[in-house]
A = this chain, B = another copy of it.
């Protein structure tokens, strides 16, 4: 089979660092073009367009498109791309609202194209291993700690503070995409606190408690963008006393103190392998559960003002 002719919409940091090198190395895909409002210095994306609609009109041979823009415009773009009959890969979080998941899923079904919502943290050997271990267990304790310095990770990126930008949830939702994948029971938010800076519409930090199966279970998550250190840790203790710990999540997994997975980051190669496989089989995969956890935090979350200057 000849490689699938792919284009990319949105040429930001993640596209340049993750998507384009993986596409270049993949035998399944061949890059044709890229679209971005402002021209970007790169030789990796083929012909560049400022308007993705011009690209769709000028490059009819494109078969698939990766949409890597900020989430608030992805739905409109996805609908246009699907209407043009292209397969779609969506960066995470695929959309800003649950309604957009339903709308785009329906459009893709009707058009018969493949749709892959690429929650990249789910594409990891450690996550798959944790899922297998927990499949027939009950969780008694859960602790998710997600911390980094937003001025380092998102310098000058205003969209994260705007409505639909999710704030610290754009970071924490990776943790939720792991938890909703590996936990044997639904992840149910019981309480949440969102800390929102004065000039922001989105939180810079959040804490959440989840429902346990028994009264003394403790399931807790903390996300903080005010940290000077980087941490992405999930710790789980099962009812039977087994301890799982993934740090630098999700590459590294320990069970009862012994390292069982410690690999390099192969998330994006695995995403594109899966995308190729799904196109070949005519399948789609678009999981809304990680966003539903954020939605629940907003639905019952207490909001507090945070005095961080953004």
CA distance A75 to B301 in the complex (A): 17
Q: In the complex where A106-B186, A303-B201 touch, is A99 in contact with B293 (Cβ < 8 A)? A: yes
Once the chains are docked, how many angstroms separate the CA of A211 from the CA of B96?
13
Closest to A71 in B: B300
Q: Which residues of B contact A18 (CB under 8 A)?
A: none
A302 — which chain B residues lie within 8 A by C-beta?
A: 163, 201
Pair B99/A186 contact, Cβ less than 8 Å: yes
Answer whether residue A62 sits at the interface, using C-beta atoms and an 8 A cutoff.
no
Interface residues of A in 133-177 (CB under 8 A from B): 163-164
Chain B residues near A199 (CB, 8 Å)? none
Interface residues contributed by chain A, number (CB under 8 Å): 32
Query: Would you call B299 and A96 a contact (CB within 8 A)?
Result: yes
Least CB distance, A107 to chain B, in whole angstroms: 10
* Contact across chains for B294 and A299 when beta carbons are under 8 A apart: yes
Would A97 and B188 count as touching, CB distance under 8 A? yes
Copies in the complex: 2
Answer whether residue A51 sits at the interface, using C-beta atoms and an 8 A cutoff. Answer: no
Interface pair B163/A99, CB less than 8 Å apart: no
In the complex, what residues of B have CB within 8 A of residue A188's CB?
75, 97, 99-100, 102-103
Contact between A97 and B164 (Cβ–Cβ < 8 Å)? Answer: no
Q: Is A72 on the interface with B (CB-CB < 8 A)?
A: yes
In the complex with contacts A72-B300, A186-B106, A298-B298, A292-B201 CB distance below 8 A:
no
Question: Are B300 and A97 interface neighbours, CB within 8 A?
Answer: yes
- Within 8 Å of chain B (Cβ to Cβ): is A98? yes
Q: A97-B300, A106-B185, A295-B296 are in contact. List 17 more A-B contacts (CB 8 A).
A: A96-B299, A97-B296, A97-B299, A99-B189, A100-B188, A102-B186, A103-B185, A103-B211, A106-B186, A163-B191, A163-B302, A164-B299, A201-B303, A291-B299, A295-B299, A298-B299, A303-B303
